[in-house]
Amino acid sequence: MVTSLIKHERIVTTLPKAKELRRVADKIIQYAKNGSLHSRRKADEIVREKPMLTKLFEVLGPRYQDREGGYTRVLKLSQNRKGDNAPMAVIEYVDRPGEVRAARPPPKRVLETLDDTLASVGIKSIRAE
């Protein structure tokens, strides 16, 4: 299921599966951020397809390099699944291109943007002191 999440970056599943998948998906992004050979081998134990392992380390790892956690978002759907009435949810990676709801930027990125904005109007940086 983690392989499918890496491939599509957004999947629809039951709520309990999505909550459990979030734990594994966040751990695998930590491996991708580290980028060492040991991390690649640990991720290879979990990810089932080689192209998705490559995408994990070349696309997703650098995307979340300055984010300290919270790589996935679980959104509960309003209607349950027909048949067994199971609660459904969407699990997706944040900060992906074309997402409907933008994630809050990491604090590091917010401070850089704030410094740029203040510098453009002629005010000293708050970190320059």
- Cβ–Cβ under 8 Å, residues 7 and 25: no
Report pLDDT digits (tens) over 63-107: 999 888 899 999 999 999 999 999 999 999 998 877 767 777 766
Q: Among 9-13, 44-48, 117-121, which stretch is predicted with the lowest mean pLDDT?
A: 117-121
- pTM value is 0.78
50 vs 112 pLDDT, higher one? 50
Q: Which of helix, strand or coil describes residue 129?
A: coil
Gap between the Cα atoms of 53 and 3, Å rounded: 8
> Which one-letter amino acid corresponds to residue 123?
I
pLDDT of residue 103: 74
**Which tops the pLDDT comparison, 102 or 47?**
47
Q: For residue 81, what pLDDT is reported?
A: 95
- pLDDT value of position 100: 65
pLDDT at site 92: 93
Burial 70-104 (b: 16+ CB within 10 A, else e): ebbbeeeeeeeeeeeeeebbebbbbbeeeeeeeee
State the average pLDDT for the chain. 88
Tell me what pLDDT residue 20 has: 96
Higher-confidence position of 111 and 102: 102
Look-up: residue for tokens 């998705």?
A: 52
How many angstroms separate the CA atoms of 39 and 127, rounded?
34
Residue 125, pLDDT score: 65
